[in-house]
Amino acid sequence: MADQLLRKQESSTSLHGDRSLILGVDIGTTSVKVCIIDSAAQKCIKQLSKDTQANVPSELGSEGNKQHVPKIISALHGCISRLPREALRRVEKVGICGQMHGCVLWKSGRAWSRKPDTNTYDIDEVSHLYTWQDTRCTPEFLSSLPAPDSHLGVHSGYGVATLLWFLRHKPQKLQLYDRSGTIQDLVVAMLCDLDTPVMSVQNAASWGYFNTQTAQWNTELLKGAGLPLSLLPSVVGSGQAAGRLHSSWLGLPAGTPVMAALGDLQCSVLPLLTCNATAALNVSTSAQLALLLPDGFQPPTAAAETGCISYLPFLDGRYLAVAAALTGGNAMAAFVQMLQRWTQELGFNVPQSVVWTKILSLADSAAASPTTTSTELHIVPTVRGERHAPHQRATVTGVTVDNTGLGHVTDAICRGIAANLDSMMSREWLSLRGVTRLVGTGSALARNAALRRAFQKTYQVPLQMADETSAAYGAALAAARCL
């Protein structure tokens, strides 16, 4: 369906027309996505994606989660190079977003080098990307840190927490670098050849130790903890420019304005929150449920007052109420990987694509004829824990001899993903705020009918899938708003 819409848009909006274009980029957890929109019609006319395959083993085992930055940049180059050159020449602004919370470090003046023959970049003195899924910061370590001067708490996988962990456990690592940011901030710095990285309020809030009311880092707290303040990026308002393309880049003209990178969550929900009665549901690797709060809303002063709901900065001074679960499509992916391991141990080799097709088909069949025993099966699929409950693990209850088929188990995992998010932002909480429908996005939700059914049943409101759903599209829309 998405491909049909894209072809229709491409045929109705010529790449060779007179209207200006905007490039949107999303540096995601598993892939890079790019999108070109017509700034007047705000319609996507071309979009592409490429898996990064950037995960690398961590010396900390399951507690670490890191990615190889050159592979991410290579995937970005691959996407941009496949876009029509005529369209790239007419891009008037670049909007970028990416996976939040994560941290990458680099050496000023030595992190990247441009290859004039190809208009691409080599990555040099840059650390791995320590992602939002990294759990090296144990609850015990986090409790030893100073309490942030912010309404937002600090969790493992958050950029400043990761820097403080290195400061305590591997200080020699920090001595190799003098700059840091999210992966999308590194991309912006590279394209604009910035000596000091520029970070938006959205990404700064996702790092921890940032006060959104004053738009300032908790510099005194961090200085007292021994963190070199030179590692902290400069912060600008969400929706402001970070700089301009230092050189032509794969067809994009030098001097093209580049916006300060935004969070992928905010960009994912930007096209969806069209009215006050709508909440945006995004399920890809993780899962988020977001509601745009009224103009003038100010968050509570302490993180403890918000529970599982975070109040994240959006655009134009407004906030989102967000339940951000670590448990989403990654729980289904872990189940598929487990099935693959089992079949390999039995002497068979079943491709992941075959496993996915089969279990989703069986889940549809199980849902079509539910039984008492099948609905008794309950799975809490929190294999990675949750930020508010890092030690929580997955559990299975209500097992009988009649409900262990793959379809029943798959359906129970989907119900568990929905129930987990409901425990963070409940149906009743949304109803009190006038929400009457969910608008869905995210690859896991789009591909999995059983998951969509589970959310509709859990929240008891209609769920409508959005036509244009990528964070790259939202990044381009955000840039268009600031023309």
Q: State residue 15's pLDDT score.
A: 47
- Report, at the CATH architecture level, how domain 274-467 is classified: 2-Layer Sandwich (3.30)
Q: Is the pLDDT confidence value at 88 over 70? A: yes
**Averaged pLDDT, 150-177:** 95
In sequence order, the 6+-apart residues with CB closer than 8 A to the CB of 329 are: 283, 284, 285, 286, 287, 442, 443, 444
Indicate the domain borders of the chain. Answer: 2-266+472-481, 274-467
Q: State residue 388's pLDDT score.
A: 86
What is the rounded distance in angstroms from the CA atom of residue 47 to the CA atom of residue 85?
A: 14
Reported as a single tens digit per residue, the pLDDT across 90-122 is 999 999 999 999 999 999 999 999 998 888 999
- CATH fold, domain 2-266+472-481, is Nucleotidyltransferase; domain 5 (3.30.420)
Q: State residue 118's pLDDT score.
A: 85
Mean pLDDT, the chain, rounded, equals 91
Contact, 57 vs 50, CB < 8 A? no
**Which residue, among 180, 188, 183, 207, has the nearest Cα to 105 in the 3D structure?**
180
**Averaged pLDDT, 279-297:** 92
Q: What share of the chain in percent tops pLDDT 90?
A: 80
Q: Is the pLDDT confidence value at 369 over 90? A: no
**Cα separations in angstroms, 195 against 16, 114, 120, 131, 231:** 36, 15, 19, 23, 12
What is the rounded distance in angstroms from the CA atom of residue 467 to the CA atom of residue 426?
A: 26
**Which residue, among 248, 258, 252, 250, has the nearest Cα to 479 in the 3D structure?**
258
Reported as a single tens digit per residue, the pLDDT across 187-217 is 999 999 999 999 999 999 999 999 999 999 9
Reported as a single tens digit per residue, the pLDDT across 378-435 is 999 999 889 888 889 999 999 999 899 999 999 999 999 999 999 999 999 999 999 9
What is the rounded distance in angstroms from the CA atom of residue 363 to the CA atom of residue 321?
A: 32
Contact, 67 vs 56, CB < 8 A? yes
Tokens of 11: 């045929």
What is the rounded distance in angstroms from the CA atom of residue 279 to the CA atom of residue 428?
A: 13
For the chain, what percentages of helix, strand and coil (3-state, to nearest 5) are there?
A: 35, 25, 40
Tokens of 435: 């929400």
Reported as a single tens digit per residue, the pLDDT across 66-85 is 999 999 999 999 999 999 99
One-letter amino acid at 125 equals E
What is the rounded distance in angstroms from the CA atom of residue 290 to the CA atom of residue 270?
A: 10
Among 59-63, 321-325, 456-460, whose mean pLDDT is lowest? 59-63
Q: State residue 7's pLDDT score.
A: 42
58: phi then psi, degrees, rounded to nearest 5: -100, 145
Q: State residue 42's pLDDT score.
A: 85
Q: State residue 468's pLDDT score.
A: 65
What is residue 112's three-state secondary structure? Answer: strand
Contact, 175 vs 127, CB < 8 A? no
> How remote is the C-alpha of 290 from its chain's centroid?
13
Cα within 13 Å of Cα(24), Cβ side? 37
Contact, 398 vs 383, CB < 8 A? no
Reported as a single tens digit per residue, the pLDDT across 214-249 is 999 999 999 999 999 999 999 999 999 999 999 999
Contact, 428 vs 385, CB < 8 A? no
One-letter amino acid at 35 equals C
Q: If pLDDT is split at 50, 70 and 90, which confidence band does 8 have?
A: very low
**Which residue, among 11, 20, 63, has the nearest Cα to 38 in the 3D structure?**
20
Fold match flag (2-266+472-481 vs 274-467): yes
Q: State residue 290's pLDDT score.
A: 95
Q: Is the pLDDT confidence value at 5 over 50? A: no
